[in-house]
Amino acid sequence: MKKKILLIIILVIFGIFLALEACGIYLSGRGNVSYKTESVKSLKNLNSKNTNLKKLISNLSPKGTYLVIDTAKNMLYVKKGEQTLKEVVVSTGSGSILNDPAGNRQWIFDTPRGELSVQSKTTNPVWTKPDWAFIEEGEEIPKSYKDRVEKDVLGDYAFHLGDGYMIHGTLYTRLLGRNVTHGCVRVGDADLEKLNKTVSIGTKVIIF
Amino acid sequence: MKILFSALLVIFLAVAARTDAIPQHSAGTKDEIDLLDAELKVAKKPVIYFIFNLKDKEILLKSRGILLKKMKIEDVKFWGRTVDAAPRAMLKKSALFKEPKRVNIDPNKDKEETSTDTATNTTPGAFEIEALELKDMPTTYRLEFHEGIFISISPKGTGFLSGLLKMASYTGWYVSRPILTIWNSIKGSPYTSIYLILNEEDARLVYWSLEEKSENIIYK
């Protein structure tokens, strides 16, 4: 008797589920569009349009050398077309958050994604510490500009990407390959030297 | 009773086989053009974008038409209305279990205890850093796109526990989809649900690189 009741319960649940499934199929199928087969002439036109679109997309890709930065693997690739010319281990943003205890400001230390470009290059760059660099250390924000300046921490070269983000050198070479920065991309000295010869103002930098 | 049960089971399996197939039709070239049209719209912007190519079972990460990463889809299940290849905003990503959490920097924390950002550390790789890394990304999560399109991602995984979690995730998806379809139909909202199985690393990478509000393309 108990077995029969259990079986009936299972069948009822099964039946309800089937009914729901059938309902779902009917409702979801209503929006589906059916296509007719194309004629040979219109197929030729479609193929031509296909080729044109591929060409238009291809024309959008960077001309010449460009950089691709993989923030997940902390790698930088120097590329030309489909070819990878060089692979470099870097450090990218930690993704950490810093809140200003004194106010409403918040900083999220991500390396920005998307396509950027090298806007300027500096040799022997000097770091002008922003407010977050003091807040992070629990220090007071200096009133004088000269108290913000720190030399010899950004390596021999810096490539500015806009909004304060840079590709630059680092003292912390043991941390290369890890997500440790405040958003900038850090490169080891030897690789930075080689990059400096390759990168120019306007070089595209794709970051993902 | 047994005959009824067997009949229901056969109907159920037939329905399951039909519903999971990706909708196909004959105008392949037209589809490709729609995909290229959609890609052209996104590629004109200085952004990265994903193409979820369900037809060829691959996920492409691209920018300006350049292929940055290609990931294989191990398996795909599709339910609901046909999706046209238009750029769509990814509205939200939500992990099934624990969401990765950003570290909140505490300026008052003792710097000697926690500092890893030091050039004098002599034991490479021996320290833990407080940061979001790829390994912190979930492998089982759901992506919500504009126009009621949901993509559930689950890892391929190996091992008993992994298999169990995958089965649980798939069962949850399977059972919920008709109910959500009916619910959304009552609300007058479209609903499409796609279930993808990727290898663990690719699943993490998609979560890592896919930003909310970014435009992406789903191509079937």
User: Closest Cα of chain A to B163: distance in Å?
Assistant: 24
- Specify the residue for token string 């399109």: B149
- Please give the residue that has the higher pLDDT: either B145 or B1: B145
- Identify the closest residue of chain B to A14 by CA–CA distance: B8
| Whole-number pLDDT of residue A42 | 79
Question: How many C-beta neighbours within 10 Å does residue B143 have?
Answer: 24
| Whole-number pLDDT of residue B18 | 57
Half-sphere exposure of B180 (CA within 13 A, CB side): 17
Residue B43: pLDDT over 70: yes
Question: Cβ separation of B1 and A4 shorter than 8 Å?
Answer: yes
pTM listed for this prediction: 0.86
Pick B36's closest partner by Cβ from A20, A57, A96: A57
Tokens standing for A143? 């009133």
Question: Cβ separation of B134 and A73 shorter than 8 Å?
Answer: yes
d(CA A133, CA A98): 10
> Within chain A, how many helices (H) and strands (E) appear?
4, 14
Helices (H), B142-217: 160-187, 200-209
B133 SS3 class: coil
Whether A199 contacts A123, CB under 8 Å: no
Which residues have C-beta within 8 Å of that of residue A144, sequence separation ≥ 6? none
User: Closest Cα of chain A to B141: distance in Å?
Assistant: 18
- Identify the closest residue of chain A to B44 by CA–CA distance: A60
| Whole-number pLDDT of residue A54 | 94
The radius of gyration of chain B from alpha carbons, rounded to an integer in Å, stands at 21
| Whole-number pLDDT of residue A32 | 59
Half-sphere exposure of B176 (CA within 13 A, CB side): 13
Question: Cβ separation of A137 and B107 shorter than 8 Å?
Answer: yes
- Please give the residue that has the higher pLDDT: either B55 or B122: B55
Chain A positions touching B48 (Cβ under 8 A) are 113-115, 206-208
Question: Cβ separation of B32 and A50 shorter than 8 Å?
Answer: yes
| Terminal alpha carbon distance of chain B | 41
Pick A95's closest partner by Cβ from B48, B102, B190: B102
Q: How confident is the model at residue B152 (pLDDT cuts 50, 70, 90)?
A: very high
Q: Of the candidates A101, A131, A4, A74, which has an alpha carbon nearest to the alpha carbon of residue B4? A: A4
ipTM of the complex: 0.87
High-pLDDT (> 90) share of chain B, %: 50
Per-residue pLDDT of chain A (208 residues; tens, 9 = 90+): 788 888 888 888 888 888 888 877 777 765 555 555 556 667 788 888 999 999 999 999 999 999 999 999 999 999 999 999 999 999 999 999 999 988 889 999 999 999 999 999 999 999 999 999 999 999 999 999 999 999 999 999 999 999 999 999 999 999 999 999 999 999 999 999 999 999 999 999 999 9
Question: Cβ separation of A172 and B118 shorter than 8 Å?
Answer: yes
DSSP assignment string, B60-127: EEEETTEEEEEEE-SEEEEEESPPP---EEEEEEEESSPPP-PPBP-TTS-HHHH----TT--STT-S
Question: How many C-beta neighbours within 10 Å does residue B25 have?
Answer: 15
Whether B59 contacts B71, CB under 8 Å: yes
CA angle centred on A71, ends A77 and B161, rounded to 5°:
120
Best A58, A65, A174 residue to mutate vs chain B (most B CBs within 10 Å) = A174
Residues 58-87 on A with a CB inside 8 Å of B are: 58, 60-62, 68, 70-73, 82
Residue B37: pLDDT over 90: yes
Count of all residues that appear for chain B in the document:
220
Query: What domains does chain B contain, in order, with CATH numbers?
Result: 2-102+138-219 (2.40.440)
| Whole-number pLDDT of residue A104 | 86
Chain A positions touching B192 (Cβ under 8 A) are 28
